[in-house]
Amino acid sequence: MKAPLGSYALMASGLKLANGALVQSPTAINIDVPASCSNSGGIPLEAPVSYSIEFSSFVDFAGNTSVPNDYSNNLLNNLGNLTGTKPYLRIGGNTQDFAIFNASLEVAQVGIIIPAVSPDYPRNLTIGPRFYESFTTLPDTKYIYGFNLASNGTQGRQSLLATAQHACQALQDGKLAYWELGNEPDLYDRTSALGARRPESWNEADYVNEWLNGTRAIHDTIAQYCPSLAGNSSYKYYAPSFSGTGNTHLDPLKTWEAGLDADKDIGLISSHNYINGATVPGVTLQGTLMNHTNTIASVALQLNESAHLAALPASLNPSLPFILGETNSLYNQGAPGLSNSFGAALWGVDFALYCYAHNIRRVHFHQGTNYRYQSWQPVETDLVARGTKAPY
């Protein structure tokens, strides 16, 4: 289609006018659009644009029964109206593996920030029954709930079973999408935000044994308190939720071969992905986020992993959809001036569409209170005003 000179086509061509005179002739660009999609095209799942909310930030994003966060709900509804399905919310991240349940706690949560670990979220997190009020405040929203796998002592085990009871009761009546057990367990055996939580000898078989032991105990608890969520079709997980493809200490293929899905309760294969790090030298907006070659290279690693998983025998992996259960621009909560810029918004669109086109079927952009790469700040703090940010 040709448009009159000086119309939007002129602007789209990047032409400049000097003293009212045309300084460059327009160049016609013809784009052929196929009449139908190819068989190799991606097939996004429902809610292809979704979010991952840091566990310790969930109450800020959702509010509670007394003061629901209508601001967050309106923003989620806007996206639901555009895509056809309200975004799914994965409640997890590093702090899901810090959270310990205390039935006598009178507030939703108590967190203690240790700046040497992170100034952005609490290293010690205690949650109480009121934490689960927040699952009632965002109508027509489906959740992925993240259980704590890292805390595997007596206190952690008791907490796991207590949260299974409270979580299933809060997520009945259509709120539950999937469960998740452990955030980035491939990093447990080394010093990370968690600190080293497993010995260096910890391997794929050890992880699978812990995961199966945990998921079976969770299932027994849910069957007792929420039997409608314990059936084969409703009791499903995001897994294994590893940290990525280049820095993993556990091999996803070996994990599946060790029997991760022995109980056939994994619904989606979930991996995590960040383009780069917030404090890595040389990271720039133009050279890192607004560089499509970087996006292609980053997604290619995930596609290579998903292809190898798909090639496993059907008894190990029956063609499960592959998603990014946590992703964003720059890990460590993003960098000011980069992750909160309009350029990062353009990156998000490019990244998501490239994922969908290559059959990564849902992406959850990670969020947290005061995070630099957040799509919106849900509450007023002494660091950040409540408001909608560029990535949204």
Count of structural domains within the chain = 1
Domain limits for position 325: 46-388
312: pLDDT strictly greater than 60: yes
pLDDT for 59 equals 98
| Cβ neighbours, 10 Å, residue 278 | 18
Indicate the residue type of 16.
Answer: K
Band of residue 2 on the pLDDT scale cut at 50, 70, 90: very low
Question: Looking at per-residue confidence, does 30 or 150 come out higher?
Answer: 150
Mean pLDDT (the chain) is: 90
279: pLDDT strictly greater than 70: yes
pLDDT for 248 equals 67
The candidate with the shortest Cα–Cα distance to 99, out of 168, 134, 155, 148, is 148
- The answer to the question of residue 10 being in a domain is no
CA distances from 10 to 16, 30, 32, 285 (A): 9, 15, 20, 27
Tell me how far apart the alpha carbons of residues 67 and 176 are, in angstroms, rounded to a whole number.
22
pLDDT for 25 equals 52
Tell me how far apart the alpha carbons of residues 101 and 166 are, in angstroms, rounded to a whole number.
10
pLDDT for 4 equals 35
284: pLDDT strictly greater than 60: yes
pLDDT for 46 equals 92
pLDDT for 43 equals 82
63: pLDDT strictly greater than 80: yes
- The answer to the question of residue 249 being in a domain is yes
pLDDT for 192 equals 61
Q: What percent of the chain has pLDDT over 70?
A: 90
- The answer to the question of residue 125 being in a domain is yes
17: pLDDT strictly greater than 80: no
16: pLDDT strictly greater than 70: no
pLDDT for 3 equals 37
Three-class DSSP labels, the chain = CCCCCCCHHHHHCCCCEECCEECCCCCCCCCCCCCCCCCCCCCCCCCCEEEEEEHHHHHHHHECCCCECHHHHHHHHHHHHHHCCCCCEEEECHHHHCEEECCCCCCCEEEECCCCCCCCCCCEEEECHHHHHHHHCCCCCCEEEEECCCCCCHHHHHHHHHHHHHHHHHCCCCCEEEEEECCCHHHCCCCCCCCCCCCCCCCHHHHHHHHHHHHHHHHHHHHHHCHHHCCCCCCCEEEEEECCCCCCCCCHHHHHHCCCCCCCCEEEEEEEEEEEECCCCCCCHHHHHCCHHHHHHHHHHHHHHHHHHHCCCCCCCCCCCEEEEEEEEEECCCCCCCCCCHHHHHHHHHHHHHHHHCCCCCEEEEECCCCCCCCEECCCCCCCCCEECCCC
pLDDT for 235 equals 98
- The structure tokens listed for 165 are 């009871």
Q: Tell me whether residue 133 is one of the annotated catalytic residues.
A: no
pLDDT for 200 equals 87
15: pLDDT strictly greater than 50: no
The position carrying tokens 């022995």 is 262
Catalytic residue among 54, 180, 204, 305: 204
- Tens digits of residue pLDDT in 82-120: 999 999 999 999 999 999 999 999 999 999 999 988 899
Question: Looking at per-residue confidence, does 49 or 9 come out higher?
Answer: 49
- The answer to the question of residue 120 being in a domain is yes
pLDDT for 61 equals 98
253: pLDDT strictly greater than 90: yes
Least confident of 20-29, 175-184, 304-313: 20-29
pLDDT for 22 equals 47
Band of residue 275 on the pLDDT scale cut at 50, 70, 90: very high
- The answer to the question of residue 207 being in a domain is yes
58: pLDDT strictly greater than 60: yes
pLDDT for 27 equals 65
The candidate with the shortest Cα–Cα distance to 87, out of 52, 122, 125, is 52
pLDDT for 40 equals 64
- The answer to the question of residue 91 being in a domain is yes
- pTM of the predicted model as reported, rounded to 2 decimal places: 0.90
Tell me the CATH number at 313. Answer: 3.20.20.80
374: pLDDT strictly greater than 60: yes
Least confident of 12-16, 101-105, 209-213, 316-320: 12-16
359 in the Ramachandran plot: left (φ > 0), alpha (ψ -120 to 50) or beta?
left
Tell me how far apart the alpha carbons of residues 198 and 185 are, in angstroms, rounded to a whole number.
10
- The answer to the question of residue 343 being in a domain is yes
- The answer to the question of residue 112 being in a domain is yes
Catalytic residue among 54, 184, 210, 326: 326
Could you tell me how far CA 127 lies from the centroid of its own chain? 21
pLDDT for 21 equals 47
Q: Tell me whether residue 257 is one of the annotated catalytic residues.
A: no
